[in-house]
């Protein structure tokens, strides 16, 4: 199985420094700062990247589960909201909320929700994030 790589470099102190992050494939590249993480500054941040990883993994797992059950999806779109909270001594990601909309011809809601639960629990990124609360709200469109 492949081993995927990503790179990050931070220069300077937390308040005034800046960093660059990239995926090993080169498909993803961006800058990040304290302002992009803790305020509304320009650039990405580790929390946003974590959300993107979970949303993409969940969408793939849900699509796969539905297709294997005979319900080929036209599309699965997932938005992840990563909650970064200030706690004593620093910051903590408290939970990630997934909001999913899927176009799945012929699937009833009970079947769809079963596959949502399985994808939320079974995708590799969800499994890696077991210390976090992950909530999923999903609807057929």
| 56: Cβ contacts below 8 Å, ≥ 6 apart | 78
The C-alpha atoms of residue 16 and residue 88 are separated, in whole angstroms, by 22
Query: Which position has the token pair 């399985």?
Result: 118
Averaged pLDDT score across all residues of the chain: 95
Contact 103, 141 (CB under 8 A): yes
CA distance linking residue 32 with residue 19, whole number of Å: 5
Residue ranges with strand state E in 1-132? 6-11, 18-23, 29-33, 75-87, 90-103
The CA distance from 141 to 34, in Å, is 38
The pLDDT confidence band at residue 1, using thresholds 50, 70 and 90, is confident
Q: Where are the domains of the chain?
A: 6-38, 46-140
What the block records as the tokens of 129 is 């994030």
Nearest Cα to Cα of residue 96 among 63, 59, 48, 60? 48
**Which CATH entry fits the domain spanning 46-140: 3.30.950.10, 3.30.300.20, 3.30.470.20, 3.30.420.300?**
3.30.300.20
Of 10, 34, 6, which is closest to residue 20 (Cα–Cα)?
Answer: 10
Q: For residue range 83-130, what is the model confidence (pLDDT) as tens digits?
A: 999 999 999 999 999 999 999 999 999 999 999 999 999 999 999 999
Q: pLDDT for 49-96, tens place per residue?
A: 999 999 999 999 999 999 999 999 999 999 999 999 999 999 999 999
Whether pTM > 0.85 for this model: the answer is yes
Confidence of residue 31 (pLDDT cuts 50, 70, 90): very high
């Amino acid at each position: 199985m492949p081993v995927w790589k990503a790179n990050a470099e931070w220069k300077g102190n937390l308040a005034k420094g800046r960093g660059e992050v990239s995926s090993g494939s080169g498909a993803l590249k961006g800058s990040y700062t304290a302002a992009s993480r803790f305020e509304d500054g320009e650039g990405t941040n580790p929390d946003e990247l974590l959300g993107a990883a979970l949303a993409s993994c969940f969408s793939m797992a849900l699509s796969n589960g539905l297709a294997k059950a005979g319900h080929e999806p036209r599309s699965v779109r997932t938005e992840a909201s990563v909650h970064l909270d200030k706690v004593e001594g620093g910051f903590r990601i408290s939970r990630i909320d997934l909001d999913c909309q899927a176009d799945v011809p012929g699937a009833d809601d009970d079947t769809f929700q079963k596959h949502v639960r399985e994808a939320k629990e079974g995708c590799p990124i969800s499994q890696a994030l077991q210390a976090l609360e992950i909530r999923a709200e999903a609807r057929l469109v």
